[in-house]
Amino acid sequence: MTFTSFEFLLFFPLVVLLYNIIPQKLRMWYLLVVSYVFYAFMQPVYLVLLSAVTGITYGFTRWMGATEDDDKKHKIMVWGIILVLLPLFFFKYFNFVNESIFSLLSLVGVQSTVPAIKWMLPVGISFYTFMAIGYLIDVNNEEVEVEKNIGSVGLFLSFFPYILSGPIERAGNMFPQLKKMPTSQPTDFTAGLKLMLWGYFMKLCVADRLGIYVDAVFKNIIQHNGNTLAFATLLYPIQVYADLGGYSLIAIGAARCMGIKIIPNFNRPFFATSMSELWRRWHMSLINWLTDYIYTPLSFVLRKWKVWGIVCALMLTFLISGIWHGAAFKYILWGLLQGFYLSAEALFQKRRLDVENKFELKKRWWYVFLSCLVVFVLFAFSQIFGKCSARSGLAVVEKIFTNRGLVFIDKTTIVYSVIALIVMFVKDFRDEFFPGKMRFFESKYFAVRYVSYLTIILLILLFGNFQESQFIYFQF
Amino acid sequence: MKRILFCIGSLIVLVFGGMATINYLVDPGHIYSTDYIDQIIEGVRNGYNVERSSKNMDERLYKAKLAEIHNGEHFDFLAIGSSRVMTVSKDALNGSSLLNLGVSSCKLEDMISYLQICKCNNICFKNIIVSADPPLFNESYGDSRWKSIYNYCDELNGIGKDRGIDWEKIKQLVSPSYFQASFADICDMVIGKNKINYVTSYINDGFANRTDGSIYYDKKYRDVSQDVIDDRAANKTYASYNNFDSCSRERIELFEKLIAEIKNSDAKLFFLTLPYHPFFYKRVLNMQGAYESIEYINNFSKENDICVIGSFNPDDVGFTKADFYDGGHVKKESIDSLILNSLFYGVK
């Protein structure tokens, strides 16, 4: 059952209805059961794994809470993190590490003796593993209190709106809300539904429509010329934004309908005027996690190296980010490229600021526009390695620069996508530069709001791609 | 809160009610009314080819009715299989009589049903051409259109015993995909494009259903540049090849049962393994399930001494990109020459 399946459209209203009916004391357990049932629709056997990670997280945090000695607490935290990471390593990285090691050893004549594991990757494992690690670290740093109720810990890790593809939540944000479990208020309910409606539009009309074209081109790199590949390259980050951004909005909206506020995940990333700003707007829950638990401690440790310490911290952080995305060299390449971009910015930041201040460039619309465009193109270029294998990615890059020709256009798909894209872009543009103007969903007139909802629903029905489609971030 | 619930409730009623109404009235797939099919049958019964602007209809029901009007007849050839066999006409059979009961995305259940239909209607064949295509063994492809003729599919392996309500047709009422097709058809209806013509020639602007059950593509699909054809082959998604990770053991067992039944009859069996467009053939070979299925079909036919017409590899039969309409559909003229050469002129 995915968010765009018919089953979810029946499941969700029922869940919200029962949530508001049952006594407040039982709501946390109710949502825990519902979340486990939701996960069971995907992969029931991996509920055991989820429970195990929950048990380890709960047990180790309680142990840390009962320990006064800071060193001992730290050691418990480290062991807790190792145990929680083991399933992720086993399912996601074992084959990659195994093959890589034996590829190297085969150069000296040693053959592989360890067979590959052919088990399916548990859905959401990267997300709940990171949340568990974050909680362990927060308890060690005394940023959150130890949660004594195992049901709360279980629900924190398995909450159905975000378990499959995020956002990656924090214990500090979730536990206080999970204790309250308020009845749905009208404002939260309507806000939640609006977020979900917009999320479905982004997912079905933009992401899934663009996906038809982008996937067709990238699956047949040999057949397409450089211009077509360049065009698909530019469309791919928009597809990812609409896909994961749309999914996140549905997740945030679903939680909001029950009065639970989840952290946002995207903030109009294509209006960023620098790579660092893009990464403050793109997949924010992941980047904040990496910043708080990897980058900040690393840059503190490397502070004596000054700007080079920052560069090393950035490269390592994004290397980890790349590895988190997947067990393949292409993700490592992708991560290193992001790190390179940000490091280059860090090194030239002072000079750039000087020039911008001297000529008041940030007030000039053409400078802002060019900056957004350059950032977008650089980001799109790096996303080639998110889409293809490292070898294919390099082939794509070579073709873009050397192989000319007419752009392949799938008329129906492109026309539908462009219409939906324009709607999405206009909304983002308004939110970025003219917040509070031309309010449709938030209009004070009921008729305007009603017609807006109906229009978006009709656009979804007319332009949405309703063939079976998984969110890009499902297998993370 | 009452206002919110009213808003939600009214939106649901408006949206779903409107969608269901439009889907039912426009009915782009002609699944709620058999008038459309009956009109085509009437034309074919009277010896006409039928030209139509809309390709959509319940093909399975149409082919079932087509068989019924040939009650008690004898044919030289029966052709069953997917859309890849639907363009096989009597022109390819050197004047022999043909009943083509091929349907799009044919599953084994469809083949079983049509053999049953022919049996029930006392239709006899000297030869049966089975289009043995890899998607027959794709378990992931969950097309359930065969249920439209489930009545006939109950003798082999207990398939089709579920004779409940056809929920698929009910689901289509609130299907967004069907709504999109309805919306596109509304425009055609307004300009009067959605009509049926009885014609003598099978080469028309519109899509043609021929008297022998075969089809001929509409002008818009067939008269395109080679670049467009190559793009179709390289990029178009064919649903029956999606998620084709393995050759299903269960599908193989059913297939072997079906073939055994045919071999036990008086008819001679032929496998039609039409080639793929060179670009699409490369894609197919990269699908593990399709690759395994091709290997299986080739080995099975050899082991069971079944005559094979054609090859999936276009190079084996001297086909080039120019012989195709898209990735998997061979041009009628090329099919005619392939079958004529194989069956009648002894050319390999």
**Facing residue for A453 by CB, picked from B11, B176, B279:** B11
Cross-chain Cβ contact B234/A190 below 8 Å: no
Q: Residue B161 pLDDT > 70, yes or no?
A: no
Four-residue CA torsion sign, A380, A381, A382, A387: positive
pLDDT at A118: 63
First to last CA, chain B: 76
Interface of A with B (CB under 8 A): 186, 189-190, 193, 212, 216-217, 219-220, 223-224, 408, 410, 446, 450, 453-454, 457-458, 460-462, 464, 466-467
Angle at the Cα of B104 from the Cα atoms of B315 and B73, rounded to 5 degrees = 100
Contacts of B183 in chain A (CB under 8 A): 462
Residue B59: name the closest of B90, B95, B101, B99 by CA: B101
Percent of residues, chain B, with pLDDT higher than 70: 90
Integer Cα distance of A34 and A146 in angstroms:
24
CA of B9, closest CA in chain A: separation in Å? 12
More confident residue, A271 or B345: A271
Residue A312 neighbours by CB under 8 Å, 6+ apart: A298, A302, A305
Distance set, CA A114 to CA A44, A95, A101, A108 (Å): 28, 9, 11, 17
Q: Sort out which chain A residues have CB atoms less than 8 A from B235's CB and list them.
A: 216-217, 219-220, 223, 408, 410
Task: Look at B7 and A460 and tell me if their CB atoms are within 8 Å.
Answer: no
Cα separation of A151 and A55, whole Å?
A: 10
Sign of CA dihedral A331, A332, A337, A343: positive
Task: Please state, in angstroms and rounded to a whole number, the distance separating the CA atoms of residues A332 and A336.
Answer: 6
- In angstroms, rounded to a whole number, what is the distance separating the alpha carbons of residues B28 and B181? 6
A with B: how many residue pairs have Cβ under 8 Å apart?
53
Q: CB-based contact (8 Å) between B220 and chain A? A: no
DSSP B281-347: HHHHHTSHHHHHHHHHHHHHHHHTT-EEES-SSGGGGT--GGGBSSSS-B-HHHHHHHHIIIIIS--
The pLDDT tens digits for B110-120 are 898 899 889 88
Please tell me the distance from the alpha carbon of residue B217 to that of residue A141, in angstroms, as a whole number: 70
B186 vs A: CB within 8 A? no
Q: Could you say which DSSP state residue A475 is in?
A: G
Amino acid identity of A206?
V
Q: How many CB atoms lie within 10 A of CB A360?
A: 9
Q: Which amino acid would we find at residue A463?
A: F
Q: Is the Cβ pair A410, B235 closer than 8 Å?
A: yes
Band of residue B164 on the pLDDT scale cut at 50, 70, 90? low
CB contact under 8 A, A450 and B8: no
B278 upstream amide cis, omega within 30 of 0? no
Dihedral sign, Cα of residue A121, residue A124, residue A130, residue A136: negative
CA-nearest residue to B182 within chain A is A462
From the CA of A78, how many Å to the nearest CA of chain B? 40
pLDDT value of residue B152? 56
Tokens standing for B2? 């009452």
Q: Which residues from B are below 8 Å from A220, CB to CB?
A: 234-235, 279, 283
A189 contacts in chain B (CB < 8 Å): 1, 4
Which residues of chain B lie closer than 8 angstroms to A196, CB-CB? none
Q: Which one of B141, B235, B244 would you mutate to disrupt binding with A, by most A Cβ within 10 Å of its Cβ?
A: B235
Enumerate the residues of chain B whose CB falls inside 8 A of the CB of residue A454.
11, 14-15
The minimal CB distance from B177 to the residues A186, A189, A466 is found for A466
Instruction: Give ∠ CA A337-A338-A341 in degrees, rounded to 5.
Output: 85
Residue B160 confidence class, pLDDT cut points 50, 70, 90: very low
pLDDT of residue B156: 42
Q: Considering only the beta carbons, identify the residue of A189, A408, A462 that sits closest to B183.
A: A462
The answer to whether the beta carbons of residues B335 and B90 sit under 8 Å apart is no
Chain A residues within 8 A of B236 when measuring between CB atoms: 216
Model confidence pLDDT, tens digit, residues A139-167: 999 999 999 999 999 999 999 999 988 89
Sequential DSSP letters for B119-133: HHTT-EEEEEEEE--
* Cβ contact, residue pair B237, A457, below 8 Å: no
**Inter-chain contact B11–A462, Cβ cutoff 8 Å?**
no
Least Cα distance to B279 among B225, B338, B217, B229 occurs for B229
The answer to whether residue B158 scores a pLDDT higher than 60 is: no
Cβ atoms A162, A169 nearer than 8 A: yes
Q: What residues 276-335 of chain B have any CB closer than 8 A to a CB of chain A?
A: 279, 283
Query: Are B15 and A450 an interchain contact pair (Cβ–Cβ within 8 Å)?
Result: no
Which residues neighbour B68 within 8 Å (Cβ) at sequence distance 6 or greater?
B117, B121
Q: Chain A closest CA to B68's CA: distance in Å? A: 35
Burial degree of A435 (CB within 10 A; 0-12, 13-18, 19+): exposed
Q: Measure Cα distances from A224 to A228, A385, A401, B172 in Å.
A: 6, 17, 13, 36
Degrees (nearest 5) of the Cα angle B206, B212, B215?
Answer: 30
Cα(B36)–Cα(B43) distance, integer angstroms: 11
Give pLDDT tens digits along chain A (476 positions): 788 888 898 899 999 999 999 999 999 999 999 999 999 987 788 888 999 999 999 999 999 999 888 899 999 999 999 999 998 888 888 777 777 777 777 777 766 666 666 667 788 888 999 999 999 999 999 999 999 999 999 999 999 999 988 899 999 999 999 988 888 888 999 999 999 999 999 999 999 999 988 988 888 788 788 999 999 999 999 999 999 999 999 999 999 999 999 999 999 999 999 999 999 999 999 999 999 999 999 999 988 988 889 999 999 999 999 888 887 888 888 999 999 999 999 888 888 888 888 888 888 889 999 999 999 999 999 999 888 888 888 899 999 999 888 888 877 888 889 999 999 999 999 999 888 887 888 888 888 999 999 999 999 999 998 864 444 444 44
Asked if A454 and B11 come within 8 Å (Cβ–Cβ), the reply is yes
Q: Minimal CA–CA distance to A260: which of A175, A199, A198?
A: A175
Q: Per-residue pLDDT tens for B322-335?
A: 999 999 999 999 99
Please say whether the beta carbons of B288 and B279 come within 8 A.
Answer: no
* Cα within 13 Å of Cα(A137), Cβ side: 16
The C-alpha atoms of residue A164 and residue A169 are separated, in whole angstroms, by 12
Indicate the length of chain B as a whole number.
348
Tell whether B225 lies on the interface with A, counting CB pairs under 8 A. no
Mean of pLDDT values over B202-208: 87
Residue A82: CB partners within 8 Å, gap ≥ 6?
A: none
For B225-284, the pLDDT digits (tens) are 898 898 888 877 777 887 788 888 999 999 999 999 999 988 999 999 999 999 999 989
Q: Does B231 sit within 8 Å of A408, measured CB to CB?
A: yes
Smallest Cβ distance to B176: which of A219, A223, A461? A461
Dihedral (CA of A310, A313, A318, A321) sign: negative
Residue A119's pLDDT is 65
**What would the two tokens of residue B165 be?**
């309500």
Which chain A residues contact residue B4 at CB under 8 A?
186, 189-190
If contacts are CB pairs under 8 Å, which of residues 229-248 in chain B contact chain A?
230-231, 234-237, 239
**Across residues B211-228, what is the average pLDDT?**
90
